[in-house]
Amino acid sequence: MSTRQIAVLVGSLRKESFSRKVAHNLIELAPKSLELAIVEIGDLPLYNQDLETETPPQAWQAFRDRVRPAQGLLFVTPEYNRSVPGGLKNALDVGSRPYGKSVWGGKPGAIVSCSPGHIGGFGANHHLRQPMTFLNVPLLQQEAYLGSVDKLIQADGKLVPATAEFLGKFMQSFAAWVDKIAGG
């Protein structure tokens, strides 16, 4: 079995965010059949169709070039005002254009949302599912919400054992999903 390349998009732009820490743990927990790499979204100019010329912004092109070869997508996001952060939504828009050249289509995906609040980013998780339908990203139906995430990450950045076990099983399910959708 070959290793599948997975683009990881972290919704929070903060360097020490809970989402980024969770993403790094997911990279470590992933089965050997997946190779995960974070694709940064923080330097993407806001999508503006006027800039979609023969020479779009370099950051857009670099982002598209990083996501395009990926065989799967993993989104790790906090919840901002019961939705996804603006930077993540902008990344979706940048990757979906120009029309007919989306980098998202047909790639299996999964979402992990987290929040210091008790409902674990439920609103963000479900809002992110809406554009995934339009972008033709078949999502793993297993949902992962990490409520009280500030209590699930230890001082060394590692997850508490029960959460690591839960996310390890989630990553096994995601690997099977990627194989099923991407052709295993």
Output DSSP code: residue 55. S
Per-residue pLDDT of the chain (184 residues; tens, 9 = 90+): 589 999 999 999 999 999 999 999 999 999 999 999 999 999 999 999 999 999 999 999 999 999 999 999 999 999 999 999 999 999 999 999 999 999 999 999 999 999 999 998 999 999 999 999 999 999 999 999 999 999 999 999 999 999 999 999 999 999 999 999 988 5
* CA-wise closest residue to 82 among 128, 130, 122, 22: 122
Question: Residue 120: beta bridge partners?
Answer: none
Amino acid at 49: Q
Q: Does domain 4-182 have CATH number 3.40.50.360?
A: yes
Q: What are phi and psi of 136, to 5 degrees?
A: 60, 45
Q: What are phi and psi of 47, to 5 degrees?
A: -65, 130
**Is the whole-model pTM more than 0.75?**
yes
Sequence ranges of the domains in the chain: 4-182
Of the chain, the end-to-end C-alpha distance in Å amounts to 8
* CA-wise closest residue to 11 among 35, 34, 53, 42: 42
Distance CA 150, CA 114 (A): 9
Average pLDDT along the chain: 96
> In the prediction, which pLDDT does 73 show?
98
Peptide bond into 78 cis (omega under 30): no
Under DSSP, is residue 74 helix (H, G, I), strand (E, B) or coil? strand
> In the prediction, which pLDDT does 170 show?
98
* CA-wise closest residue to 175 among 33, 22, 26: 33
Among all chains, which residue has been given the structure tokens 């790499």?
Answer: 37
Q: Is 34 exposed, middle or buried (0-12, 13-18, 19+ CB in 10 A)?
A: buried
Distance CA 120, CA 81 (A): 13
